[in-house]
Amino acid sequence: MYPALYRHRRKLVRFGLVLRLLTAAHMVHAQTVPASEPPSGARLFTQQCGTCHSVKPGEVRAGPSLAGIIGKTAGKQAGFAYSPALKSSSMTWNAANIDRWLTDSSATVAGSFMNYRQVDPAKRKAIVTFLSTGK
């Protein structure tokens, strides 16, 4: 009677050992999965800005082209009807100003036609980097 019980117990112990090894292997795999990629500026631009803006020089949509925007004065690009508020702002586009604009365009230049808010700093940074470098 005892030998049969002993064999049954050995099978349970082996099953438990195999189960622990599989769980440990899964835990190691779960820990080595790389962190998610940072947001792609090009993809975010296309998704959030690309309907109204282009990065092709001279291509005007509902908004002006943003090709080479860094260093340009806001509201002065030929071929687009800017709000009086943006025309008179004398703001020069740089990374900090674009980040402020993307955070809350209406607060950055009160009276501007564009109304956009991006609360995620990582997404804003990706879009600013894309507009600055094309990457």
C-beta separation of 131 from 69 below 8 A: yes
Give CA–CA dist 104/110, Å, rounded: 10
Tell me the whole-structure pTM to 2 decimals. Answer: 0.72
Express each pLDDT in 4-57 by its tens digit.
555 656 665 565 555 565 555 555 444 555 667 878 999 999 999 999 999 999
Cβ atoms within 10 Å, residue 98: 21
Express each pLDDT in 76-133 by its tens digit.
999 999 999 999 999 999 999 999 999 999 999 999 999 999 999 999 999 999 999 9
